[in-house]
Amino acid sequence: MIDLVTLGESMALFTARRTGLLRHARDFGLSVGGAESNLAIGVTRLGRRAAWIGRVGADEFGELLRSTLAGEGVDVQGMIVDPDAPTGLMIKNRRTSEMVDVRYYRSGSAGSRLRPEDLDVSLIRSARVLHITGITLALSASAREAVRAAVAEARDAGVTVSADINYRRALWSPEEASAVLRETVAATDVLFATEAEARLIVEGADPVALAGALSDLGPRHVLVKRGPLGAVELSDGVVRHAEPYHVTELDPVGAGDAFAAGWLAETLEGAGPERRLATACAAGAFAVAADGDWESLPRRSDLDRLRPADAVSR
């Protein structure tokens, strides 16, 4: 049985090996990246079964995505090979030692052509959690309809709906995003957002107020991610604060996906609120402490290696 299903676009990821202007890069590492597939890998590494639904091109990058996700234990039965569009690309480089720049080449990509007919409805309806992101909502009109159809199927089947705002300015304006995201939040049970993302939808002077305003729209659980400042969770009316893990940040990309993966994996395990929040923060810390969007995501055996002083004992 699949615990969690997610859908979206994953891309081939080229990372420049030298720091500086991208125009001077001559050597690149090749991997894959994408918010939803990052999360699926994170959930799988923590011992739960995850599946990814999406389109890839009939090209070597599409094969790379299939082999990478399958190699990490992610179920890819919902992966569709599009013969008429290429797999999207991400290019990552360090402008300085502390500044990571990511560029996306996804216009007209296979992933942006996701549509409701692509959904494995039986897979969604039999899962325990459906996880969506604002990225997929912004990719195209057909991808947005696919997300809406997936959420409708999940809710009809009693499947928990989880969403990460994951706002990308390159894909849509704040004004366009606000109305769509507000509609989406109202249909979710679990919501992840940064403070800036929360303010696209609601008003609030601080993370607790923002969490409360988001909760008023419908979600039972709201997680406000604060990066190096930790996180705030509002669940069933109870507010909890999570202290950050102190690590040296090497690559911030994928930290939010790791946080959500940690929280959802522990929820699927039946863990209590303190443990799921502690694991979420630990997973986010592992993600930023090494290069790569998902390569450093923790396994169960890693969690005890990195703990804040006041973390709950396992």
Which residues have a catalytic role annotated? 257
The answer for residues whose C-beta is within 8 angstroms of residue 167's C-beta and 6 or more apart is 134, 174, 177, 181, 196, 197, 200
> According to DSSP H, which parts of 72-173 are helical?
121-126, 134-139, 141-156
Question: Which two structure tokens, joined as six digits, stand for 205?
Answer: 């002077």
Question: Which tokens hold the place of 50?
Answer: 């995850």
| CA dist list (Å): 23 to 91, 99, 264 | 12, 16, 40
Count of beta carbons in the 10 Å neighbourhood of residue 280: 27
- C-alpha–C-alpha distance, residues 64 and 79, integer Å: 12
CA–CA separation, 134 vs 22, rounded Å?
28
Its sign, for the CA torsion 311, 229, 162, 183, is: positive
How many helices (H) and strands (E) are present in the chain, helices listed first? 10, 13
